Amino acid sequence: MTPSTPPKHQWVETEDGSLTLFSEEFQEACHSTSGAVQETKLHYLQGCQIETKILSDDHLSILEVGFGLGIGFLTTYDVLKNQNKPWSFLSLEIDHELLEWFRLQNLEHPFLKNLTWRENILEAKNEMIHLQILCGDARRVLPEFLKSQRLTWNAIYQDAFSPKRNPVLWTKEWFTLLKTYSTATALLSTYSASSSIRKSLLEAGWILHKGEKFGPKRTSTRASLQGETDPDILLQLSRSPATALTDDNLQEILRK
């Protein structure tokens, strides 16, 4: 049965049988139509090595850019719920109605039934898991939130809408902020392999690696703060006329 539909969205069935949402506002679906859950597992759980990190790192702290319909969190929850180790998940979402819809959908869920609004934060917590979703424009609410927290993250799911639809979450300045609060072992993973985005990441100080292919996309991007950038990526970028996306040039670049 198709669940109720959040305002300004439509359901889309994807090839692995899971559903995603199409946003009327951004004119884009939240996931690849090749499979919403499969894409999430590949790009985010595998891409950020979540199952290794929960065992090896002191505390697994995940940042997700774009909460959407919550597949990133729910898939992570399914994989980690029986691990006897604490982990936290901080996510960012501009759409208040979408978050309220998510809360109401999950009143029976063993963990999410405790979701509660605390000002602009939707939050649930137990002995092992701490979920916080900051509601508002990530470019404003995340820096504001960080002023009052001693927080770092070691995994980043960079899952904003595409750079064309959602450019402010793909600029050099955005990736610099993400790097500032990353631990030395942090991994950032994203479905995008655009040259312009890769240049933004490089200029912000990230080290780049090729990610897996999914659906019609030939590759994706993984980034870390240790090691060296894959020489094939450096060669490809040196041949590409694309420039890094910055807060200053994004309108001009996207018009081209």
**Residue of this chain nearest to ligand SAM (CB atom):** 68
Q: CA of 59: how far to CAs of 72, 96, 111, 185, 220, in Å?
A: 19, 29, 19, 12, 26
Q: Tell me the residue type at 148.
A: S
Q: Containing H/E element for 189?
A: strand 182-190
Among 42, 60, 92, 204, the residue binding ligand SAM under the rule CB under 6 A is 92
Range 64-84 burial, b when 16+ CB lie within 10 A, else e: bbbbbbbbbbbbbbeebeeee
Among 137, 144, 248, 252, the residue binding ligand SAM under the rule CB under 6 A is 137
Alpha carbon distance 169, 165 (integer Å): 10
Residue 163 binds ligand SAM, judged by CB under 6 A: no
Please tell me whether residue 92 adopts helix, strand or coil conformation. strand
Residue 68 binds ligand SAM, judged by CB under 6 A: yes
Alpha carbon distance 57, 129 (integer Å): 15
Residue 39 binds ligand SAM, judged by CB under 6 A: no
Q: Which of residues 1-30 bind ligand SAM (CB under 6 A)?
A: 30
Closest contact distance (angstroms) between CB of 74 and ligand SAM is 8
Residue 167 binds ligand SAM, judged by CB under 6 A: no
Region near ligand SAM per CB under 6 A, out of 62-70, 105-113, 143-151, 216-224: 62-70
Residue 69 binds ligand SAM, judged by CB under 6 A: yes
Among 62, 159, 192, 222, the residue binding ligand SAM under the rule CB under 6 A is 159
Please tell me whether residue 237 adopts helix, strand or coil conformation. helix
Binding site for ligand SAM (CB under 6 A): 30, 40, 64, 66-72, 92-95, 98, 137-139, 159-161, 166, 168-169
